[in-house]
Amino acid sequence: MKEIDARGLACPAPVLQTKAALREESPGQVQVVVDNSAAQQNVQRFLESQGFETTLEQKGADFLVIGRCAAAPAERSRPAAAPETGSQKILILCATDRMGYGDDELGLKLMVNYLRTLKEMGPDLWRLIFVNNGVKLAIDGSEVLPDLQGYEQAGLKILVCGTCLNHFNLLARKQVGETTNMLDIVTAMQLADKVISL
């Protein structure tokens, strides 16, 4: 079993370290030790995306993510499926919970209206990513939480920055989307046909 100690590493280093180990050694089993739940979720999701079945153990403040290979190494990194003919993949990156500058109350109203209107994009809306102050839109008490949950239930993939949630001490309050890391965000931006930043 390949053992990786990723304690004390900031996002996305635990996932990058795990990715490098899989690429260099193609182990059948891997154990990654991390010291926060955001890294645990990111590593676990990454391993599962690479064909591993995962289990989780907690030892004190540490999380042990154990992956057992369920797919052949050649099958681990299949590219994402191409979009349907005639549609494009639009990624929206929300780095704030307000739209524009000036009046904060107006900015919040504009952002709420914008997010509620996104459904008009139809199937072209491919990813919705929240970073920095934008993660506050994905927590309990957010005015747009029911809208975001509806988008997610309809199949939209929503990603919420784990480092940002930790910074604002909001990880436990996240109510929608997957806790993500910068590697996932950069990869999604590469795959998108268009990126809209707010």
The CATH code of the domain that includes 29 is 3.30.110.40
Co-location of 108 and 159 in the same domain = yes
According to DSSP H, which parts of the chain are helical? 13-25, 37-49, 104-117, 145-153, 162-167, 182-191
Cα 77–81–87 angle (5° rounding)? 150
Q: Is the pLDDT confidence value at 76 over 60?
A: no
Domain of 187?
90-197
117 shares a domain with 46: no
Task: Assess whether 101 and 9 both reside in one domain.
Answer: no
Count of domains forming the chain: 2
| Weakest mean pLDDT among 47-51, 86-90, 179-183 | 86-90
| Contact status, residue 93 vs residue 55, Cβ threshold 8 Å | no
Inside any domain, residue 31: yes
- Beta-carbon neighbour count of residue 97 at 10 Å? 24
Looking at the structure, tell me whether residues 15 and 108 fall in a common domain.
no
With beta carbons less than 8 A apart as the criterion, state whether 131 and 95 touch: yes
Of 101 and 168, more confident: 168
Q: Are 168 and 192 part of one and the same domain?
A: yes
Query: pLDDT digits over 137-177, tens only?
Result: 999 999 999 999 999 999 999 999 998 999 999 999 999 99
Query: Is there a domain that residue 84 lies in?
Result: no
Task: State whether 100 and 128 are in the same domain.
Answer: yes
Residues 66 and 97 in one domain: no
> 111 lies in a domain?
yes
> Is the model's pLDDT at 48 over the cut of 80?
yes
Residue 158 lies in a domain: yes
In the structure encoding, which two tokens stand for residue 22, read together?
A: 């899989």
